[in-house]
Amino acid sequence: MTKSAEWHSTTILAVRKSGKLVIVGDGQVSMGDAVMKGNAKKVRRLGERGEIITGFAGATADAFALFERLEQKLERFPANLLKASVELAKDWRTDRYLRNLDALIIVGDAANLLILTGRGDVLEPEHPVAAIGSGGNYALAAARALYEYEPDPEKIARQAMQIASEICVYTNNNLVLETIGARSAE
């Protein structure tokens, strides 16, 4: 998110553990030192049956344009999130319109967890935890520290986001969380 130094927004965190994938995002959108909105929804389900979860950091309109393109790629390559993501990243890097979009995306399904960037990157995180956005590094560090000790990925995600919201002024604790995989034990 290098284009606009004035806008800061969000923390998105993904945690995969115990047959579940959890993606959680905060709701804050800031401009300079002002909170413009506190309840933005930056985590969504994609796919015909909602079998894919995605979250974005960056400009909202840009992220929605990318989600639409990703859905088109998923229609072309059904049940192959990795191929659809690679095709989106190629377009994002080379298409004159898409190249100017200012967002990062985390996307995952039952088998994949990926970070997509406008530079054409499709990154598979080394660890089963990934994060993007203004507070991403805080949430990532907290989730990695909790990972070994907490069996429930939803609890890891919630606690890590709480920690990030206490450190990063561009992150709040108004969370939207989506899960795929095994049901959590409440």
Alpha-helix residue ranges (DSSP H) falling in 33-133: 60-76, 81-94
DSSP 157-169: HHHHHHHHHHH-T
For residues 9 and 123, give the distance between their C-alpha atoms in angstroms, rounded to a whole number.
21
- Which of helix, strand or coil describes residue 141? helix
Residue type, 31: M
For residues 12 and 26, give the distance between their C-alpha atoms in angstroms, rounded to a whole number.
7
For residues 50 and 14, give the distance between their C-alpha atoms in angstroms, rounded to a whole number.
16
Residue 105 sits at the vertex; the CA angle it makes with 99 and 111, to the nearest 5 degrees, is 125
**Residue 94 appears among annotated catalytic residues:** no
Q: Which of 10, 11, 54, 171 is catalytic?
A: 10
Residue 165 near residue 14 (C-beta atoms within 8 A): no
Any idea which residues carry the catalytic annotation? 10
